[in-house]
Structure 1
């Protein structure tokens, strides 16, 4: 039995190894030209290993953020009739706290080079709709009328996603994402909660 380690990437599969391989390939040959097979080859893992961690190429970019969104939606639902502006903002804040540069930040900063502009636009819209809908539902359960609830949902979801985009474009890790979010929240202060 040969016990000499192979050169190149380790055989063990991991989310980070796959994400790194995907981002390298997106930068080298573009998003559309990169297949899942290309990613798994670069990572040195099987195609089935890819699907243990990700459901699609796009999921490579969004999976870390989606986990944060899922947690925020649970926190919003727990607010119930006691929801108000500060409580909703507090439920949203963990999506952006401690956010380290990751595949999404890399893609936002290098969208043109990676060829992911259309993908990011579409996928950002999906996340915006999820976040806005949850905020609007929380507002309605606290007695806010329908139109105001929808406006609040859209405004706060935009604050989250635009903060993330601007932070990444300016060089993730160079500035504070939380500060960017606070600035976005101040810009919508004319939309009172109640």
Structure 2
């Protein structure tokens, strides 16, 4: 039996909020997927279709949502971006070299030496962390429909801007001692600046 319910409309509002957040963070495909989820929720509410009951137009929309979600994982996850993995490798080498032959400021301040060792660990593990996130996101894209994806997005909304421990370690070390890590490539510096601008938005 069809009935009017505020639940789908509330879900649509939540999905739209998450879409705007994704758009602000530069995750265009995720924003599109969540906008589609918002439309599907709204349709369900206006048609009076109970939650978790499917009709053809909603099933077709859910299929489009799933397809875009898959593409978004490949486009937005750092583990699948060769430039980020190359930057992590470069920074790992720089942190390792700096730890073995520290600059004068590293010898003067214990916090700098600590930051260098933290950088070695962070850059060595970052790609593995990103890959784990990518696998998890792919499984969610496969198993979750629009409804569960929005619920998951709300639960994890505080972590929408996931941090990059390797880049964070570089920024920390540079703030303590600008010359301690030495020079890095222009491409890696560009990625770090892009990351820093997203972090401060």
Shared fold by TM > 0.5?
no
Bigger relative CO (Cα 8 Å, ≥ 6 apart): 2
Tell me which interval the TM-score lies in, with the shorter structure as reference length.
Answer: under 0.3
TM-score by length of 1: 0.26
TM-score by length of 2: 0.26
Larger Rg: 2
Q: Which has the higher helix share?
A: 2
